[in-house]
Amino acid sequence: MSEGAPHVDSPAGSATLLLVRHGESLWNAAGVLQGQECNGLSPLGFRQADAVAEYLAKNHSDAQLFTRSDIRRVQETAAPTEERFGEQASVDADWREVHLGTWSGRSREDVIAEHHDELRRWLLCEDIRPGGRGETLPELRARVWRAAEGVAERLLSEGGGTAICFTHGGPIRTATAAVLGLSPGGERRIQPVRNGSVTVIRRDTDGDWRLAAYNRVDHLP
């Protein structure tokens, strides 16, 4: 389950979800909080998207289901993979990044300095909406898990297989925390995933979810 783990095969009858974080965005490069704001990839992000597509085509050519967030930086990351596979990913807003309200578009330093107590309480899963109108962490987990379960059910209804899900760092950490049985907010104890990384979660035939690989980046330039 470590970073840089080898290729993970999908056991017969299981549902394997490859969770791909988008490539570096312009705001990632600038150290700006994004949330659900729509911004595109940096030059490095586009190179990462190409590297992800090459890796997926080489190692997961049998993938039969493709889905993504509707936010621009994810759309641009998914495009090279869609081209290689000749498939159009379905769009599901449940794979969006957490809604940060008015914190989006601001530097991390500014938010920490101005909203330190609110940020702390939000990370502790208190009933706090970041930026006045954002999401709580339990709300984020609920919709991300709804998306993951939906993909798994579709795969299992066809006898199992592999799905490629293009999404964001928050949803990937949240899904990982849920698979590991951590309580809401437990994702903050997990190392953040890097841009262009691939995390693998699997729902086996016994119904249990397992983490097969986390934050693998050895395919990146």
Mean pLDDT, the chain, integer: 91
Query: Which domains does the chain show, CATH number per domain?
Result: 15-216 (3.40.50.1240)
pLDDT at 117: 87
Residue 105: pLDDT above 70?
yes
**Residue 172 amino acid letter:** I
Torsion of CA 162, 190, 107, 91, to 10 degrees: 20
Could you give the 3-state DSSP secondary structure of residue 173?
Answer: helix
Q: Summarize the confidence of residues 16-23 as an average pLDDT.
A: 98
Count, residues in the chain: 221
Rounded to an integer, what distance in angstroms lies between the CA atom of residue 183 and that of residue 178? Answer: 7
Which pairing describes strands 15-21 and 161-167: parallel, antiparallel, or unpaired?
Answer: parallel
pTM exceeds 0.85: yes
User: pLDDT-based confidence at 38, cuts 50/70/90?
Assistant: confident
Token pair 């609920």 in the structure block, residue: 142
Q: What confidence score (pLDDT) does residue 10 get? A: 66
* Strand 15-21, strand 198-203: pairing: antiparallel
Tens of pLDDT, residue by residue over 45-69, are 999 999 999 999 999 999 999 999 9
What average pLDDT does range 83-97 have in this prediction?
Answer: 97
User: What are the tokens at 40?
Assistant: 């595109």
Q: Distance of alpha carbon 75 from its chain centroid, rounded?
A: 13
